[in-house]
Amino acid sequence: MELFDVVFYVFAFITVVSAFIVVFSRNIIYAAFSLLFTFFGVAGLYVLLNADFLAVTQILIYVGGILVLLLFGVMLTSNVINVDIKTGTIQTVPALVLVAIVAGSLSGLFYSTWKDVSAPETSVVTTTPALGKMLMTTYLLPFEIASVVLLVALIGATFIARRST
Amino acid sequence: MLTEFGRILLFLIVGVIFVAGGMVTSRLLRPSRPYPSKLSTYECGETPIGDTRIRFNIRFYVVALIFLIFDVEVVFLFPWATVFEELGWFAFIEMMVFLTILLVGYAYVWRKGDLDWDKPSPKIPRYEMGVGVKEVDLTEEEVAV
């Protein structure tokens, strides 16, 4: 096993285990905090796939922004600490059908395409300048529209979250 | 030969070893005498009252929301910054358009007072002549701030 594989399995382990804790933890604070490690592990996997910009974005937005927001959401909610989260099994048959469909289509997708996927090139080229060039030339309109979307999100979110006096 | 991210990984590994090493050595060295008071919440020597977890003020949430939007904006700035010199004024003006649109949102939240940190005004019990100390019930939120 090469170093690459070792690092990959370490990050995959971190991601999967913390994701399990997120799902199965009874304490919602612990779930939120272990989501931090899930995001972090996914960022590590992005790095291993030579998606450096995506990895940094993952850290910056998901770990730095969304998780903080999530924790605030948890802490803002009253009586969230000592509440037993309902984890009973209901709707077993529809859930099984849905899971089977999703798992089947995903593995079908995987088996039909995995031969074409080559390992990422070892010569690391940073993707950020290429992304910047594309954003400024080919995808200029989506880029500007993104700012409008952000504007709408900002105004809408603050409007809804504002304390109504 | 290390890549840039390889260096970050090295830092991570050293960080984990540093913390784990510190905890392991302190566990080996320190005496172990646990008793219940050691586990109680520290409240300046007082006996702790109430639950440790309090409800946060909603304004933290609004500020976090605003922060998140401008966080995303910064992410868009990074790829632009790497190629801005190459593409020249065109890219500069494009980014200015982008920023101006978001500036509208900034002006909106500013105007609407979402950035104002409204200070709490706790009602301090005051002594009045002949009346005695007037008890004022503080809400949980006011005590927290």
Whole-number pLDDT of residue A15: 95
For chain A, the residue count is 165
DSSP reduced 3-state for B111: helix
Q: Which residues contact B57 (CB under 8 A, 6 or more apart)?
A: B141, B144, B145
Q: What is the pTM for the complete model shown? A: 0.72
CA B72 to centroid of chain Cα atoms: 17
Q: Give the residue-averaged pLDDT of A28-44.
A: 90
Give the pLDDT band (50/70/90) at residue A149.
very high
Mean pLDDT of chain A: 84
CATH class in words for A1-81: mainly alpha
Whole-number pLDDT of residue B142: 55
Neighbour tally for A159: CB within 10 Å: 13
Asked if A162 and B3 come within 8 Å (Cβ–Cβ), the reply is no
CATH number, position B43: 1.20.58.1610
CA B27 to centroid of chain Cα atoms: 31
Among the partner residues B5, B68, B80, nearest to A69 by beta-carbon distance: B68
Residues of chain B with Cβ-Cβ distance to A131 below 8 Å are 79
Q: Which of residues 38-97 of A touch B (CB under 8 A)?
A: 47, 52-53, 55-57, 60-61, 64-66, 68-69, 72-73, 75-78, 81
Please, what's the largest Cα pairwise distance for chain B? 82
Q: Mutate one of A136, A137, A138, A165 to test the B interface: name it (highest B CB count within 10 A).
A: A136
Residues of chain A with Cβ-Cβ distance to B74 below 8 Å are 60
B80 contacts A132 by C-beta, under 8 angstroms: yes
How many structural domains does chain B have? 1
Classify residue B70: in a domain, yes or no: yes
Classify residue B126: in a domain, yes or no: no
| Torsion of the alpha carbons at B36, B39, B40 and B46, rounded to the nearest 10 | 90
DSSP reduced 3-state for B23: helix
Residues B66, B116: Cα–Cα separation, whole Å: 13
Asked if A135 and B80 come within 8 Å (Cβ–Cβ), the reply is yes
Whole-number pLDDT of residue B135: 55
Residues B84, B100: Cα–Cα separation, whole Å: 17
Classify residue B12: in a domain, yes or no: yes
- pLDDT for residue A79 is more than 80: no
Whole-number pLDDT of residue A108: 92
Residues B137, B132: Cα–Cα separation, whole Å: 15
For tokens 């609004």, name the residue.
B62
Model confidence pLDDT, tens digit, residues B2-57 = 677 788 889 999 999 999 999 999 999 988 888 887 887 777 777 777 766 666 67
- pLDDT for residue B140 is more than 80: no
Report yes or no: B101 at the A interface, CB cutoff 8 Å: yes
DSSP reduced 3-state for B128: strand
**What 8-state DSSP symbol labels residue B127?**
E
Residues of chain A with Cβ-Cβ distance to B112 below 8 Å are 158, 162
A132 contacts B82 by C-beta, under 8 angstroms: yes
B119 φ, ψ (degrees, to nearest 5)? -70, 140
Give the pLDDT band (50/70/90) at residue A101.
very high
Domain range for B53 is: 4-118
Domain ranges (residues) in chain A: 1-81, 125-165
Around A148, how many Cα atoms within 13 Å sit in the side-chain half-sphere?
6
Residues B143, B145: Cα–Cα separation, whole Å: 6
Residues B36, B10: Cα–Cα separation, whole Å: 40
In terms of DSSP H, where are the helices of chain A?
Answer: 3-24, 28-48, 52-57, 67-76, 92-113, 128-136, 140-161
Residues A1, B119: Cα–Cα separation, whole Å: 59
DSSP reduced 3-state for A35: helix
**Type and span of the H or E element at B132:** strand B132-133
Classify residue B95: in a domain, yes or no: yes
